[in-house]
Structure 1
Amino acid sequence: MSGTSLDGVDAALIETDGERIGARAGAVTLPYSPALRDRLRALLDKAADIDPQDGELLAVIRALTLRHAEAVAILRAKYPYIRPDLIGFHGQTLRHAPERRLTWQAGDATLLSRETGLPVVHDFRGSDVAAGGQGAPLVPFYHAALLSGRPGPVAVLNIGGVANVTLIDSRGGVHACDTGPGNALLDDWAFRHTGIACDHDGALARAGEVRLDIVEALLDDPFFGLPAPKSLDRLAFHRAMRAVADLSAQDGAATLAAFTVEAVARTALPEAPLAWYICGGGRHNPVLMQGLAARLGVPVEKVEVLGWNGDALEAECFGFLAARSVRGLPISAPGTTGVPTPMTGGRLTCTGIVPPGWLTAG
């Protein structure tokens, strides 16, 4: 998984048939080099108009795919006693506009399959968006599988570049949506003012004062009036950077962090969660965690209290969804993406030798 924070590749090994989860064997994180991250960030700004055959685009896609292949190789070397059967490859989101039936996760599945010698499932979001769904978030089915048997209502909040929530209601129903910005705005702001790609330990935000008038103005965006399910592009709230442009580095960080927290708190859910579990990079920011705890008024914990690896969760998810895909099981539903009916998704690419028995589950 390479998320909207653009920080690198998370790779994880899980044992699953797409319904049950056995071992979660291990994970690695392989950061992008600063140069590759800068090139990816530049592509985001021109993704709406870029020629699919643009030389820089193709070079970056090759580089990020090879970085994924390297992550797979490292993981296999670290756990040589495990022989993987299948790769779930999310790719790097460059553009997400479901209202235009458009979503773009860049990556070369053929190259990844050739480099690893394994079948690869990719393009997880395209079918959902083509059918009128939001194409995001896709993690809810995995959250629901992990929480199987645990009474609800309970929420799992992923704070990546964009933040999204999964609600398991008191009857076991699964609901989801993007809530608003996650780390993306704060990361861009911190990088602009410090040269570091995130607000490490919330140091900037902790030292600043929140401009509540700016937070309220940003929350007037039409997105927050939409019912769930709903989803966002990483740059959807880029105007927030203009809104805080004249603030100090500290006050700007504090205000952007408060925007993320308040967007979560104001998300309308079918039932009020009795507890929130937080994953994604945002859980490492104490300002966000403390703000959520104060604003939500119920227990707010990192997912590690459940025995989960919050850094590997999305990578595990796309392994889980890959298994569901090859079995033709749904990976999205009306309550998670707004798609008309439960839908499977993903496309299978395979070059080289298919491991024996890899499709026996279905």
Structure 2
Amino acid sequence: MNTANSDSASDSRPEWVAGFMSGTSLDAVDAALILTDGRQVFEFGATAERKYLPEERRILQRATELARTWNWTGPRPDEAFDEAKAVITHTHSETMQQLLTDWTDPTPVLAGVHGQTVLHRRPMPGKPGATLQLIDAPAMRTALGVPLAYDFRTADVAEGGQGAPLAPAYHAALLQRLGDGTACVLNLGGVANITARLADGSLIAFDTGPANGPIDEWVEGHGRGTHDFGGTLAKTGTADEALLEQLLQHDWFSEAPPKSLDRYDFSAAMVKGMSVEDGAATLTEFSARAVAAGIAQLPEIPSRVIACGGGRHNPALMDALARALPCAVLSAEEAGWRGDSIEAEAFAFLAARTARGLPISWPGTTGVPEPMTGGIVLA
């Protein structure tokens, strides 16, 4: 993959763009403003976070559960999907208002909204991939009050790509700001994915395995909150080494990249029957070792791994990564980045590229045959 700033386009004027992300952890809508031309980031603007209320989260969880049951077969659960879309529109509108409350620079000219992923199937031999992000685009366009870029994954999947990860285009721009050298961006969301910049400047990106998803599911299933706050449960538990060895024999880890996962391809059921502490410890260690297995698939070992996403707030997971990886592990903040806003910034960046007709996925990131544009702009 060529880095994002090497592409050509007719319009190179930097503009303020808003980006929004609601991840599979279903905890909040994140938003951020960046000044960009789709190749570089010139300035970072305001950020905002709007936590989901319990009832809103329940609606999104129900849509996800019904999507998994449906799995593109039989009647589609449109009633639940429509209810979830209404939540998504309302919460994104409130997040936009929060984002612009104290913003005195120019109003953003465009918004990039990912939508809510409820189902993702990677392509397999004889079976094409598929992906579904819930969004009511006309309602979202009206609610945000600016042109909308959305549906970033469908075109990639239609051409045989994985449809994920999409953040590498933005990771490349962030890594460019750090200078030369091998480095790797690790996003710890429901699923973990990496973007590795090699010595020649090329990028390789793929999902490595689970991150927070199974841990959150395990903790919530035991009535201990929505996540392992501070890694407390994992720190007091003991990981099951025999089970970890067995889990790491999964065919996923020998599959060559690029590759992608659905959030529920690895679930909390892996540790069924354990105490809540030992289960949390085992799932946390598994997420870290899955990342290590992904790093081992790279043609070059990076000099450092920069962790972003919610998982970097989990000390137990960060400690496990430090033990498992063959290089230094830094938080996004240690690299000078805004760790809680990177995914939102990424979709602002992708929106700018979409509006300019620039590629957002490449053979080395999603497995598409050639660099591909993607996304739809609703003016």
Give the TM-score normalised by structure 2: 0.89
2:34 and 2:45 in contact (8 A); partners too:
yes
Which amino acid is 1:103 matched to?
A: T
* Unmatched runs of 5 consecutive residues or more in structure 2: 1-20
Q: Which residue of 1 aligns with 2:349?
A: 320
2:62 and 2:80 in contact (8 A); partners too:
no
1:155 and 1:277 in contact (8 A); partners too:
yes
Q: Which residue of 1 aligns with 2:111?
A: 87
Q: Which residue of 1 aligns with 2:215?
A: 186
SS of corresponding position for 2:272: coil
Mapped pair 1:122 → 2:150? yes
In structure 1, what is the Cα distance between the partners aligned to 2:286 and 2:63?
A: 26
**Cα deviation 1:62-86 (Å, max 9, x = unaligned):** 1112111111111111314331100
Q: Which residue of 1 aligns with 2:65?
A: 45
Matches within 5 A, 1:71-110: 71-99=95-123, 100-110=128-138
SS of corresponding position for 2:114: coil
Q: Which runs of 4+ in 1 moved over 4 A?
A: 50-53
Residue 115 of structure 1: how far off its partner (Å):
1.4
Mapped pair 1:269 → 2:293? no
Pick the aligned partner of 2:141 from 113, 116, 120.
Answer: 113
Mapped pair 1:8 → 2:21? no
Mapped pair 1:242 → 2:269? yes
In structure 2, what is the Cα distance between the partners aligned to 1:243 and 1:103?
A: 24
1:292 and 1:300 in contact (8 A); partners too:
yes
In structure 1, what is the Cα distance between the partners aligned to 2:162 and 2:78?
A: 27
Q: Which residue of 2 aligns with 1:132?
A: 160
* Unmatched runs of 5 consecutive residues or more in structure 1: 351-362
In structure 1, what is the Cα distance between the partners aligned to 2:265 and 2:63?
A: 15
Residue 53 of structure 1: how far off its partner (Å):
6.1
2:46 and 2:100 in contact (8 A); partners too:
no
In structure 2, what is the Cα distance between the partners aligned to 1:81 and 1:242?
A: 48
Which amino acid is 1:249 matched to?
A: V
In structure 1, what is the Cα distance between the partners aligned to 2:274 and 2:284?
A: 14
Residue 52 of structure 1: how far off its partner (Å):
4.3
SS of corresponding position for 1:308: coil
Cα 1:251–1:229 change in 2 (3 A) is same
Q: Which residue of 2 aligns with 1:25?
A: 45
SS of corresponding position for 2:199: coil
Pick the aligned partner of 2:176 from 148, 157, 162.
Answer: 148
Q: Which residue of 2 aligns with 1:359?
A: none
SS of corresponding position for 2:364: helix
Pick the aligned partner of 2:369 from 324, 333, 340.
Answer: 340
Q: Which residue of 2 aligns with 1:197?
A: 226
SS of corresponding position for 1:266: helix
Give the TM-score normalised by structure 1: 0.93
Q: Which residue of 1 aligns with 2:79?
A: 55
Residue range with higher mean Cα deviation, 32-41 or 127-136: 32-41
Pick the aligned partner of 2:336 from 283, 307, 311.
Answer: 307
Residue 101 of structure 1: how far off its partner (Å):
2.7
In structure 2, what is the Cα distance between the partners aligned to 1:81 and 1:153?
A: 35
In structure 2, what is the Cα distance between the partners aligned to 1:134 and 1:158?
A: 17
Residue 152 of structure 1: how far off its partner (Å):
2.3
In structure 2, what is the Cα distance between the partners aligned to 1:189 and 1:242?
A: 8
Pick the aligned partner of 2:284 from 257, 272, 286.
Answer: 257
Identity of aligned residues (%): 45
Residue 283 of structure 1: how far off its partner (Å):
0.3
Aligned length: 348
In structure 2, what is the Cα distance between the partners aligned to 1:326 and 1:117?
A: 17
In structure 1, what is the Cα distance between the partners aligned to 2:30 and 2:273?
A: 35
**Cα deviation 1:10-62 (Å, max 9, x = unaligned):** 00000101012111112111111112212212222221417446222211111
In structure 2, what is the Cα distance between the partners aligned to 1:17 and 1:52?
A: 39
SS of corresponding position for 1:148: helix
2:109 and 2:147 in contact (8 A); partners too:
yes
SS of corresponding position for 1:30: strand
Residue 243 of structure 1: how far off its partner (Å):
3.1
1:76 and 1:82 in contact (8 A); partners too:
no
Q: How large is the RMSD of aligned CA atoms in angstroms?
A: 1.3
Pick the aligned partner of 2:311 from 282, 297, 301.
Answer: 282
Cα 1:300–1:53 change in 2 (3 A) is closer
In structure 1, what is the Cα distance between the partners aligned to 2:269 and 2:137?
A: 37
Residue 194 of structure 1: how far off its partner (Å):
3.4
In structure 1, what is the Cα distance between the partners aligned to 2:180 and 2:104?
A: 37
Which amino acid is 1:226 matched to?
A: E
In structure 2, what is the Cα distance between the partners aligned to 1:137 and 1:18?
A: 18
In structure 2, what is the Cα distance between the partners aligned to 1:243 and 1:98?
A: 21
In structure 2, what is the Cα distance between the partners aligned to 1:298 and 1:220?
A: 23
